[in-house]
Amino acid sequence: MEYRPLGNSGMQVSTIALGCWPIAGMTSRGVIDENSIATIQACFELGVNHLDTAYMYGATGESERLIARAIQGRRDDVVIATKGGLHWEGNNRVFDARPETLRRQCEESLRRLGTDHVELYYLHAPDPNVPVAESAGELARLMAEGKTRAVGASNVDVPQLEAFAAQCPLAAYQPVYNMLQRGIEADALPWCAAHGVAVLVYWPLLKGLLAGGLRRDTVLPEGDSRLKYSMFHGQEWQRNHDLLDKLRGIAAETGHTVAQLVINWTIHQPGVTSALCGAKRPDQIRDTAGAAGWALTESQRARIGQALRDRGAPDVESPV
């Protein structure tokens, strides 16, 4: 496993990180606590040292509570990130990044995690009713109090990054990024590189689409959350499978799976620090960890680039 600096925080994170949304069980079927705990514990043997969760991962914080159970006796071996500013009211997400809410959620997250601090605390998403600078100021106070060692911002644009960084030292940025969603390459990635901010990306496999396991004739079951995205329908679906057919050939040459190929490409994109990879069973994070420790050849990268150009610009909805 390779490790990279978490911005200017002095900490290092693995290039493959565990995204702990799936273990909350809210959008994945067949999630059981024993598998979730085993998945987190498998990270220790794989060298995956970064666990990414959030206050709203679960109806009542299931993700954070499971992490607490899984890391007993190994707290110093993990770099934990959690987030505040979003919560559930029934089935609806509520954006609330007022200072008092961020403080309350941070302190509740610490209790759930069974720790007095986290290594990284994010603004989960900007609140349209609260200036980003106001939210950032409270996170700076939480860091000064030792409740988090570093601070990050997720799902923000470059002007919001600038406003945030003016009020609080910014160690990390968490956006969506994958082969088909590359908007941050134009502005956010260069900005972060220039300001020493780590970039930890989510959706590297685009909700499983780029993992290679779904075939053209796959019919997603009713209620599957992916059905709301155009990438899983019609012409977009067919174009994606034309791309996957080409990626399968390149993956076979490398001796790795399509998912490993895609994530390896992702973590070697300029400016990307780590890829947050969701898993709910140990075999899933073991497979994902196989994306680290090797590199594509120049020829293979060029062929991937051509395959992406042939696919054309997709119509991909924002996750937030």
* Cβ(122)–Cβ(154) below 8 Å: yes
57 catalytic? Reply is: yes
C-beta separation of 230 from 317 below 8 A: yes
Catalytic pick among 3, 55, 57, 229? 57
Active site members:
57
